[in-house]
Structures are given as C-alpha cells and as structure tokens.
Structure 1
C-alpha cells in the first residue's frame, strides 16, 4: 500500500459511504420504502441503518488495518497522519450520516 493511499483511505471510504447512503435514501424514497413495515421499522429506515452500520464496520476495519505492520506505514509521520485521517473517516461517517438514518423523510 502506498503512503498516499494510506493517508487518503479514510476520507475516500467516508466519501463512498456518504454517496452510498444518500443514493440509497433516494432509491428508498422513489420506491416508497418508507411505507413498508419490516419488524417495527420502515424498510427505508432499516436499509439506511444497515448501510450506515456497514460503513462504520468497513471504516473500523480500515482503521485497524492502518495499525498493523502489514498494511500500516513504518513508524513516523506517514503512520501518524494515516491513522489520524482514518479516524477522520470514522468520525465523519458518524457525524454526517447519523441524521439521514435517524431523521430521514421523503417529500
């Protein structure tokens, strides 16, 4: 893994998660998933929550990988920055996608 990829993987994974969850929101609205009940939740809320949690699992796995010898950088500046940007991806996913999962509505 190159150093540039190590540094950018967290924000890129957040960007992919953000795009996927908002795209799923649009699909759910277009197909009326908000009106379909699945186990006490609407299908829309269940799908968005599952996508959000899957995104967090992927970002946590990336962050864990950045701490390993196999995928992480050598100790020093690049390792520190890549771990910090990995955390940025996790926090950005928590912060920016939680409102969509918790308060989503179709107009």
Structure 2
C-alpha cells in the first residue's frame, strides 16, 4: 500500500493544489476582494502568486522526500516510477498554475 501512495502522492498533491488555487480564484472574484499591496501590486495577484508558490514549494518538498533514502522503496521500479511522477507533479504544478499569476482577474 505504501508503494501505491509513493507513486500517486505527487499527482494527488497537484490535483489538490489545482482545485484549491482555482477555488481561491473563485472566492476572490465572487467576493470582490480588491486592494493594493505596496501601492502598485493588486491584492488579488499577491494572493494568487502566494498560493502558486506554496504549491510549488509543496511539490518540491515532496520531490525531495521521494529522493531521500529514508522514504525509498525496496523496489527499484517503484522508486523510479515515484520519482518520475514526482517530477511530473512539479512540472504540472508550475505549468498549469502559472496562468493564475500572469493573467488578469475577474473580468
């Protein structure tokens, strides 16, 4: 069971991050959260960028844990596949959530 968790944890964290960040986007737009931070950066952009960076940090930490010998599987196949899905989760988080930082909000 632990081997299945090792393999699926990164895509599951990506799925949770994706849902949470787009849910945050809905809350920001639905409740009309606005304002500026430091006089020129919108509060919306700060919240979304912070959420994206936290998601990237979570995936990076997970990838680090998957490469650590302490959490390694005895099976070399499971180790390889879990590391591959870890890298996939990190790239998917960076790529699919990047538009939340660069695009406009609440049209």
How far apart are residue 75 of structure 1 and its match?
Answer: 5.2
Q: How does 1:3-14 map to 2 (within 5 A)?
A: 3-14=3-14
CA distance in 1 between counterparts of 2:3 and 2:104 reads 37
Secondary structure, in 3 states, of the residue corresponding to 1:57?
helix
Paired residues of 2:44 and 2:105 also in contact (CA < 8 A): no
2:60: which partner in 1? 60
Give the equivalent residue in structure 1 for 2:35.
36
Structure-2-length-normalised TM-score: 0.92
- Compute the TM-score of the two structures, normalised by the length of structure 1: 0.92
Deviates more, 1:24-33 or 1:14-23: 24-33
Question: What are the ranges of 5 or more consecutive residues in structure 1 without an aligned counterpart?
Answer: none
User: Is the 1:66–1:73 Cα contact (8 Å) retained in structure 2?
Assistant: no
- Root-mean-square deviation over aligned CA pairs: 1.3
The answer to whether the 8 A contact 1:7-1:85 is kept is yes
Shift of 1:74: 2.5
Identify the residue that residue 94 of structure 1 maps to in structure 2: 94
Matched residues in 2 for 1:104 and 1:65: separation?
35
